[in-house]
């Protein structure tokens, strides 16, 4: 199964991993490249982006790095401009970056609220804002945002700003989808459930806590185990490809049935 997005250019924002194991972002960038896309790997960490590029090149794919902090919209504009300069088009925009800040209503600070919203929501807006004119000029494109099932329902983790920013991301996705449907620019959002990734492991501090947290997360899933970054990558590949050419504004839950 190769070539499902042959010759397309994909801009993956948050394409590294905060750990050694694959992340949602790095797995997606690698799968896009395996299926024929040229991938520009944007990340705040140049080494993290470079690791993904090395994995892509190891399987014969084409990719390059670009360092950007999505908290600064000028750096997002620069990433989109660099993609146009390097590859002349942008067919797929995959916005994967998302951060949490601990805190329920009483704990949340203005600073942490603003930082979470800047990265989870404003960054996604800025990336789409910069990419859409190029997509319109090309006759279409696919924007994929990465949200969370915590945008839909109660989560035992106290992440008020995260949950609300992801709910807003879902809504923005649907508005953008409707606005640009006449231009064949599609916009969809993936809502991962519990995914066994370095990002999830980083939510606790010690190795013992990690083992316990993994067991508890697996036990909460109806299939008896968490999803993997590859599960998110495969959903993204569908949304990136022509197989989903009539799909826009979709909130695609990838959670093994946990929200049912």
Ligand X SMILES: NC(=O)c1ccc[n+]([C@@H]2O[C@H](COP(=O)([O-])OP(=O)(O)OC[C@H]3O[C@@H](n4cnc5c(N)ncnc54)[C@H](O)[C@@H]3O)[C@@H](O)[C@H]2O)c1
CB neighbourhood size of 132 (10 A): 21
Distance CA 221, CA 209 (A): 19
Active site residue 162: yes
What's the distance, Cα to Cα, between the start and end of the chain in Å?
A: 31
Nearer to ligand X, 181 or 211 (CB): 211
Are 123 and 96 in contact by the 8 Å Cβ rule? The answer is no
Taking contact as CB under 6 A, which single stretch among the options 19-27, 109-117, 131-139, 171-179 is the one that binds ligand X? 19-27
Ramachandran quadrant class, 184 (left: phi over 0; alpha: psi -120 to 50; beta: rest): left
For ligand X, the closer CB: 62 or 75: 75
Helix (H, G, I), strand (E, B) or coil at 219: helix
Residues 36-75 binding ligand X (CB under 6 A) are 43-45, 48, 68-71
- H or E element, residue 105: none
**By CB under 6 A, what part of segment 198-257 binds ligand X?**
198-200, 229
| Least gap, CB of 84 to ligand X (angstroms) | 19
Q: Are 78 and 93 in contact (CB under 8 A)?
A: no
Binding map of ligand X across residues 112-131, x = CB under 6 A, - = no contact: -------x------------
Marked catalytic residue, from 87, 95, 162, 180:
162
Q: Is 80 one of the binding residues for ligand X (CB under 6 A)?
A: no
| Per-position DSSP letters for 197-217, written without gaps between them | SHHHHTTSSSHHHHHHHHHHH
Q: Which of 126, 164, 195, 233 binds ligand X (CB under 6 A)?
A: 195
Chain positions contacting ligand X, by CB under 6 A: 14, 16-18, 23-25, 43-45, 48, 68-71, 96-98, 119, 146, 148, 192, 194-195, 197-200, 229
């Amino acid at each position: 199964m190769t070539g499902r997005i042959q010759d397309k250019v994909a801009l993956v924002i948050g394409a590294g991993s905060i750990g050694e194991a694959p992340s949602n972002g790095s797995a997606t960038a690698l799968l896009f490249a395996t299926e024929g896309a040229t991938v520009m790997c944007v990340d705040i960490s140049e080494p993290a982006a470079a690791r993904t590029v090395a994995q892509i090149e190891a399987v014969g794919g084409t990719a390059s790095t670009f360092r950007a902090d999505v908290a600064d919209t000028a750096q997002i504009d620069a990433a989109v401009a660099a993609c146009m300069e390097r590859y002349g088009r942008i067919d797929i925009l995959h916005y994967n970056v998302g951060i949490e800040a601990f805190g329920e209503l009483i704990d949340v600070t203005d600073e942490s609220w603003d930082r979470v919203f800047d990265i989870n929501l404003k960054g996604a807006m800025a990336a789409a804002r910069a990419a859409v004119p190029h997509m319109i000029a090309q006759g279409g494109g696919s924007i994929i945002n990465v949200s969370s099932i915590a945008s839909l329902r109660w989560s035992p983790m106290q992440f008020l700003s995260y949950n609300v920013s992801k709910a807003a991301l879902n809504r923005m996705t649907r508005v953008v989808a409707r606005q640009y449907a006449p231009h064949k620019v599609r916009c969809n959002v993936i809502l991962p459930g519990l995914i066994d990734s370095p990002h999830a492991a980083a939510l606790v501090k010690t190795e013992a806590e990690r083992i316990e947290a993994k067991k508890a997360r697996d036990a909460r899933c109806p299939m008896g185990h968490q999803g993997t970054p590859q599960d998110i990558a495969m959903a993204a590949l569908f949304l990136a490809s022509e197989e989903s050419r009539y799909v826009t504004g979709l909130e695609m839950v990838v959670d093994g049935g946990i929200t049912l």
